[in-house]
């Protein structure tokens, strides 16, 4: 039996960055299930093409390619290709992100490289992505932009975070910037019938969180006998009333709603998908 949401995004086209794996690939799969065609890109072009190939093999419609979100020309080229091959861009999902600079998982405190990398990708890469599509959307007087931020950008964490130290500061600040940018862009584009919202994921077992958990294990004796995944689940149960991790598909379902006509009166919002997490 077909899903009752199967036609929610029928005939829409979505461009998704960072879609070679993890959250981005999960979002792409959900949007395709809801009827959209997708243009998936990633710094790892081979991974993006694998996502596209899997979608096409399953009967969906997708194109894939290599894109560096820190390079506006790279994004402009892929956006142009999307419009040419798929007929337009109705939905943009800036999802590409990093947790820190090279070697992040091995250190307790942030470095200048962490600030430089997180802001280049998570902030400037975000604005580059929306710049690549917004004039097209303005010309058509319609569009949905759904930014992937993080619940970590909503509220300061306790000092140390169980031995984590300060290493996440650049990432958390970059995601706070993404949420503020969501508000500002919604104000800028509202008059063109373009909705701009953010989804703030909680904790998903992705390579990013595996690196964080490994860091906990290496730096905090309390976690020495636990596997990274056990640490991940332990922290989820400590802060999330629902007591379970989120999945890329959970994020994709919220993105699909915000990308649909069902959310036509929602803009400038940042929605947590985090099991009700609360921080001290």
Active site residues: 171
Distance CA 150, CA 175 (A): 6
**How many other C-beta atoms lie within 10 A of the C-beta of residue 225?**
8
Burial class (CB in 10 A: 0-12, 13-18, 19+), 10: exposed
DSSP letter assigned to residue 156 = P
Closest C-alpha to 139, from 210, 193, 205, 199: 193
DSSP 247-267: -HHHHHHHHHHHTSGGGTT--
Distance CA 79, CA 15 (A): 8
In our burial notation (b when 16+ CB lie closer than 10 A, e otherwise), range 236-271 reads beebbeeeebbbbebbbbbbbbbbbeebeeebbbbb
Distance CA 214, CA 217 (A): 5
DSSP 192-204: GTEEEEEEEE--B
Closest C-alpha to 17, from 41, 43, 36: 41
| CB 181, CB 156: distance < 8 Å | no
């Amino acid at each position: 039996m077909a899903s009752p949401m199967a036609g929610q995004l029928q005939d829409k086209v979505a461009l998704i960055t960072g879609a070679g794996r993890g959250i981005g690939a999960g979002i792409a799969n959900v949007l395709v299930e809801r009827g959209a065609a997708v243009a998936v890109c990633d710094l790892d072009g081979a991974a993006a093409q694998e996502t596209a190939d899997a979608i096409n093999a399953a009967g969906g419609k997708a194109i894939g390619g290599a894109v560096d979100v820190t390079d506006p020309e790279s994004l402009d080229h892929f956006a142009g290709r999307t419009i040419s091959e798929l007929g337009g861009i109705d939905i943009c999902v800036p999802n590409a992100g990093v947790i820190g600079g090279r070697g992040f998982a091995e250190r307790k405190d942030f470095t200048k490289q962490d600030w430089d990398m997180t802001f280049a990708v998570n902030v400037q890469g975000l604005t580059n992505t929306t710049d690549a599509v917004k004039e097209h959307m303005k010309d058509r007087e319609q569009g949905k932009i759904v930014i992937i931020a993080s619940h970590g950008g909503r509220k300061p964490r306790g000092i140390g975070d169980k031995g984590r130290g300060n290493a996440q500061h650049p990432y958390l600040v970059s995601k706070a910037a993404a949420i503020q940018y969501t508000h500002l862009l919604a104000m800028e584009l509202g008059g063109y019938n373009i909705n701009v919202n953010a989804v703030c994921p909680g904790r998903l077992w992705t390579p990013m969180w595996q690196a964080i958990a490994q860091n906990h294990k290496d730096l905090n004796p309390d976690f020495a006998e636990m596997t990274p995944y056990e640490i991940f689940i332990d922290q989820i149960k400590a802060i999330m009333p629902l007591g379970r991790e989120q999945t890329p598909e959970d994020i994709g379902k919220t993105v699909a709603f915000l990308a649909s006509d069902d959310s036509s009166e929602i803009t400038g919002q940042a929605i947590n998908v985090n099991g009700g997490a609360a921080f001290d």
